[in-house]
Amino acid sequence: MVDAIVLAGSANNGGLRDISNAATEGLIEINNKLMVEYVLDALLASKNINRVVLVGLPEVNQLFQGRSEIVTAPAGVTPIKSLINGLEYVDSSKMVLVVTDDIPLISPEAIDYFLEQCRDRQADLFYPIIEQKLHEEKYPGSVRTYVKLKEGTFTGGNIFLINPEAVPRCADKVEEFVRLRKKPFDLCRLVGFTFLLKFLLRMLSLKETETRVSSLLGITGYAVVCPYPEVGFDVDKPSDLELARQHLAG
């Protein structure tokens, strides 16, 4: 079993601000339940999760401080700084699952599948990717950022399994990757011309991508092809929120 950290410290100042004045996206209600509650409940129902640490703004933490199964920690000014805060409350000698607060469709089954795929492999960072066809079949109309590789076209997930001891040495680079995560061409410029050229020619393989990213971050990374599109469905615009409402109502 592993500990889990839920990042809930980002202010609601993006595409959902016009339809909700909630302090964070995780505090937006979906069918009479907070978005972050769906995430917490899925983690607590997983057979592979031990402790759950909620790293959030005061408005978030005060709502969950009475729940004995959830530990709260203060958010940092950036997601990576929030992660570092959360790591103070977990066993840093073991891998830790990191989850964002804006993926309300996440399920215990998806969490368990991802963790079980990582169990027998050695890496500092595990990251799920989902095939475009699979994502669009389950969530038609959902707009996502996709990257074309030799093996197929993929979008990224919003959960990560990390080695806490690797975080300090790659924190600055991770900040940059997070900032550019939905800008594939900017990401490719960051990783070099040859990489960019192969990306444009659609000649990049999954293994090449893993190797280059691992080299840039100074850690070992591994991508897990995941059959659960809900790990990549983050709610950051009104159309996402409406789609989430429809699925959760069902």
pLDDT digits (tens, 9 = 90+) for 96-143: 999 999 999 999 999 999 999 999 999 999 999 999 999 999 999 888
Token pair for residue 249? 């109502």
187-232 pLDDT tens trace: 677 767 677 667 666 778 888 888 888 888 889 999 999 999 999 9
Residue 199: the pLDDT is 66
What is the C-alpha separation between 5 and 138, in angstroms, rounded? 27
Mean pLDDT to the nearest integer, 140-160: 91
What is the C-alpha separation between 233 and 49, in angstroms, rounded? 21
Residue 76: the pLDDT is 94
Domains, the chain, in order of start with CATH, read 2-249 (3.90.550.10)
Residue 211: the pLDDT is 87
The H helix count followed by the E strand count for the chain is 10, 9
Residue 212: the pLDDT is 82
Percent of the chain whose pLDDT exceeds 90: 67
Mean pLDDT to the nearest integer, 155-178: 88
Residue 182 pLDDT more than 70? Answer: no
DSSP characters for 135-195? HHHHSTT-----EEETTEEEEE-SEEEE-GGGHHHHHHHHHHHHHTTT-HHHHHHHH-HHH
Residue 181 pLDDT more than 80? Answer: no
Residue 200: the pLDDT is 66
Record the pTM. 0.90
DSSP structure class, residue 4: E
* Mean pLDDT rounded to a whole number for the chain: 91
Residue 86 pLDDT more than 90? Answer: yes
Classify residue 152 as exposed, middle or buried by CB count within 10 Å of its CB (0-12, 13-18, 19+). middle
Mean pLDDT to the nearest integer, 47-67: 95
